[in-house]
Amino acid sequence: MTKILFLMLALTAAAFGAEEAVANETLKAYSMIAAGVGLGLAALGGAIGMGHTAAATIAGTARNPGLGGKLMTTMFIALAMIEAQVIYTLVIALIALYANPYLG
């Protein structure tokens, strides 16, 4: 982890020391990397959350089959909220890629 941190600091120093045209291209490249990593982490977190939600719903239905309908409704609402977080990350990534305020 510290190696990655030092690498990122070194690349940041190179980006700030470059000329304006090169700095803009470097910033665009960093934006692409950040968008990809951010979307990957958001998708990973969303998938883990959805898996836990589905597992809890299945366990609850197995314990009390009479509540299966209510549990399914609650599960679908929870899944929609989890997926909304991933969509928000996608929107922020698209803003960082196409309307980047740091490019000037």
Identify the residue with better confidence: 11 or 74.
Answer: 74
Q: Residue 93 is inside which H or E element, if any?
A: helix 68-98
Are the C-beta atoms of residues 99 and 70 closer than 8 Å to each other?
no
Nearest one of 74, 85, 76, 88 to 45, comparing CA atoms: 85
Interatomic CA distance for residues 40 and 17, integer angstroms:
29
Domains and CATH numbers, the chain: 26-98 (1.20.20.10)
Residue 63 has pLDDT above 70, yes or no: yes
pTM tops 0.75, yes or no: no
DSSP string of 32-58, one letter each residue? HHHHHHHHHHHHHHHHHHHHHHHHHHH
**pLDDT, tens only, 65-99:** 999 899 999 999 999 999 999 999 889 888 888 88
